A and B are shown apart, each in its own frame.
Chain A
Amino acid sequence: MRRLTRFLLPLIIMVVFVLLMVSDEFVKRPFHGELDDVSMHLLAVRQAVLSEDWKVGSASLENLRRAWGIVTGRVQFTVERDEIRHIDSNIARLSGFLDGEEQAGALAELAELEEHWTQLGR
Chain B
Amino acid sequence: MNESLVTMVRGIIAFVSLLIFARVLGKQQIAELTFFEYVLGITIGSIASTMTVDLSIKIFPQFVGLLTWVGAVLVTQWITIRWRNQSKLINGEPTIVVMEGKIMEDAMRKLRYRLSDLTEQLRIEGVFNLDEVQYAVLEASGQLSVLKKPQNMPVTLQDLQLIGKNRGMDVELIYGGVIIEQNLKQTGVTREWLIERLSAEGFRDPSEIFIATIDTNRKLYIDGYQDKLVSKVDVDDEKEESDA
Contact = CB atoms under 8 A, between A and B. Distances in A.
Contact of A17 (B55, B58, B63): B63
A78 B57 CA distance: 9
A77 B6 contact: yes
Contacts of B243: none
Contacts of B27: none
Interface residues of A, number: 21
A96 interface: no
Q: Helix, strand, loop or mixed for chain A's interface? A: helix
B20 to A, nearest CB: 5
B77 interface: no
Interface in B47-93: 55-60, 63
Contacts of A17: 13, 16-17, 63
A80 B2 contact: no
Contact of B59 (A10, A77, A85): A77
Contacts of B2: 73, 76
Interface bracket on B: 10 to 19
Nearest to A10: B20
Interface stretch (A18-26, A34-42, A44-52, A55-63): A18-26
B1 A78 contact: no
Contact of A21 (B6, B20, B23, B60): B60
Given A17-B13, A17-B63, A21-B63, A80 B56 contact: yes
A96 B225 CA distance: 72
A78 B58 contact: yes
B3 A81 contact: yes
Nearest to A80: B58
B60 A78 contact: yes
Contacts of A73: 2
B23 to A, nearest CB: 7
B55 A81 contact: yes
Contacts of A79: 58
Interface in A55-90: 72-73, 76-82, 84-85
A20 B58 CA distance: 12
B25 interface: no
A40 B90 CA distance: 57
A59 B83 CA distance: 70
Contacts of B5: 76
| Residue of B3, B20, B55, B58 with highest tally of chain A CB at under 10 A | B58
A76 B6 contact: yes
A84 B1 contact: yes
B157 to A, nearest CB: 41
A92 interface: no
Nearest to A11: B20
A22 B60 contact: yes
Interface string B1-38: 11101100110010011001001000000000000000
Interface of A: 10, 13-14, 17-18, 20-22, 24, 72-73, 76-82, 84-85, 121
20 contacts: A10-B20, A17-B16, A17-B63, A18-B63, A21-B60, A21-B63, A22-B60, A24-B58, A73-B2, A76-B5, A77-B6, A77-B9, A77-B59, A78-B59, A78-B60, A80-B55, A80-B58, A81-B1, A81-B55, A85-B1
